[in-house]
Structures are given as structure tokens and as C-alpha cells.
Amino acid sequence: MTAADALPEPPWWTPRKPAAPRRSLSRSAIVGAGLKVLRAEGIDALSMRRVATELGTGAASLYAHVAHKDELLELLFDEVVAEIPLPEPDPSRWQEQLTQVWTDSHAALARNGDIARVALGRVPLGPHALRVSEVTMAILRAGGVPDQAVAWAVDVVGLYVAANAVEGALHVDRQRAGREPGDYYEQVGRYFSALPVDRFPVMSALAPELMAGSGEERFAFGLDLIVRGLAAQAAQPG
């Protein structure tokens, strides 16, 4: 049994079962095939039937290991966040550590299609997701952030990272469809620049700044805003 196996899993997940004799079908095999489909085709293309085809079997054989697509998506999300390196909380470096954990989280999500969609509208409760949340909150507490801010911050930063990763996946989808995101943003930039100055003086003046920066730079800027806000919370007298 691995360390991940020893961690608690949501009670509504289908319990792990050993692979059947002379067959390789297992939860791990299903998750592996699901990740392959997800990365190549995205969540909307993912189905129990599609994963079964990838494994060379029928969809009915999957249900002994995974109850339905929603459960499969939760399992896939948890497999992805297992890639995130987690540090031992260090009070002297808590802001740096927090930034790194969530930068690495964003990178892990971005490498795996639009899996970040799973984190929107639900609480990720797989064992690896729990560890990411636990370490995030431990880092914040080590930095002196008040407990209520810690409890809310893990949700706020998770939503920011997931939403940013979803937007990146949408750009990839547009590229697959032959629509370059750069063309769209050039059009938006021209529109901002052409706005009536008397009615939109600030937007007209800041049109170059509104369109400046790469996706990575903008993500880092937003994450820095969140971390600085949490640092201000930590600096407030108790």
C-alpha cells in the first residue's frame, strides 16, 4: 500500500478493487486511460465509453471500479494534483512557499487539458487534493495569517488558480479549432484604442496597458496580489 492509499478517500468513491485475474483492468488503469483522453481531447470528449475504448474493453466493465463520469473526473483531478511538490512549512519563507505551491499547482493543471474545470463548483476532496489544502493552510498559519483568513484563503486562491487554468485551456481549444487567441486579443486591443475618449477616457488612455503582458505575467501578478493581501492580514495586530 502506498502513502496515497493510506490517506482517507471520500466515502462516496467506489472502493479500490484488485485487478481481476488475467486482466489488467483496475482503478489505476482506468485513471491512466482517462488522463490520456483528457489531455488529447478535453473533458467534453471524456466518457466511460471513450475510456473503455481506450482500454480495449466495454464500458460496463469499468463500473465495478468507477461509478460514473463525475467520479472519474474527481479521480483524474486528484491524480493531477499528486504532481504538485509540497514543502515543509517554513515561517521565514511562507510567502515564497505559498507562491511556489500555487504556481506549481497552476502548471500541473495546465499540463492536463481542462481538468481545472473539475475544481469549479465543487470541493476537491481526494487524498492528494486534501494534502495540497493542508499544506497551503499550514504555510499560511506558519506565516501568522489569522485562522478565518486561512480557511477562506485556501478557497480563494484555489478558485483563482483553477479559473486561470481553465482560461488557458480555452485558448488551446480555440487553437485546435484554427482560431488563434492572439488574433482575438489584437481585435480587442484595437477596440479599446478606438473607444470615444470623451466617454471612456481611462480605458482609452490605458489601452496599451490593458493588453500588455503574457498569461504567465498576468497570473503571477494576480497571485502576488493575493499573497500580499494575506501578508497584510498576518501583519494586523491580533
What confidence tens digit (pLDDT) does each residue in 145-154 have?
999 999 999 9
The pLDDT tens digits for 152-176 are 999 999 999 999 999 988 887 777 6
pLDDT digits (tens, 9 = 90+) for 106-118: 999 999 989 999 9
Cα–Cα distance for residue pair 205/220, rounded to 1 Å: 24
Give CA–CA dist 166/110, Å, rounded: 8
Q: To the nearest 10°, the Cα dihedral for 66, 77, 174, 181?
A: 180
In this prediction, residue 210 carries a pLDDT of 95
113 versus 179: which is more confidently predicted?
Answer: 113
The Cβ-side half-sphere exposure at 28, using a 13 Å CA radius, reads 9
Q: pLDDT at residue 91 above 50?
A: yes
Q: Is 8 left (phi over 0), alpha (psi -120 to 50) or beta?
A: beta
Least confident of 16-20, 64-68, 154-158, 201-205: 16-20
How many helices (H) and strands (E) in the chain? Answer: 11, 0
- Provide the pLDDT for residue 22: 45
In the chain, % helix, strand, coil (3-state, to 5) comes to 70, 0, 30
What does the pLDDT read at residue 5?
Answer: 54
Query: Could you give the percent of the chain with pLDDT greater than 70?
Result: 93
Q: Which of 79, 75, 80, 78 is nearest to 110 (CA)?
A: 80
**What is the rounded distance in angstroms from the CA atom of residue 13 to the CA atom of residue 151?**
25
Q: pLDDT at position 95, please? A: 97
* pLDDT of 6: 67
CA distance 49 to 69: 10
pLDDT at 100: 98
Task: Quote the pLDDT of residue 1.
Answer: 47
What is the Cα–Cα distance from 21 to 200, expressed in whole angstroms?
70
Q: Residue 113 carries which side chain, given as an amino acid letter?
A: G
Averaged pLDDT for residues 78-92: 96
Query: Among candidates 79, 65, 71, 67, which has minimal Cα distance to 129?
Result: 79
Mean pLDDT, rounded, for 201-214:
94
Task: Write down the pLDDT at residue 3.
Answer: 47
Spell out the domains of the chain, with CATH numbers in brackets. Answer: 3-81 (1.10.10.60), 91-235 (1.10.357.10)
Helix extents (H) in 56-146: 69-81, 94-110, 127-142
Q: Kindly report the number of other CB atoms within 10 A of residue 210's CB atom.
A: 14
81-90, 120-129, 181-190: which has the highest mean pLDDT?
81-90
Arithmetic mean of pLDDT, 199-209: 94
Ranges 40-49, 85-94, 176-185, most confident: 85-94
On whether the CB atoms of residues 222 and 164 are closer than 8 A, the answer is: yes
Q: What is the pLDDT of residues 19-63, one digit of tens each?
A: 555 457 899 999 999 999 999 989 999 999 999 999 999 999 999
18 pLDDT above the threshold of 80: no
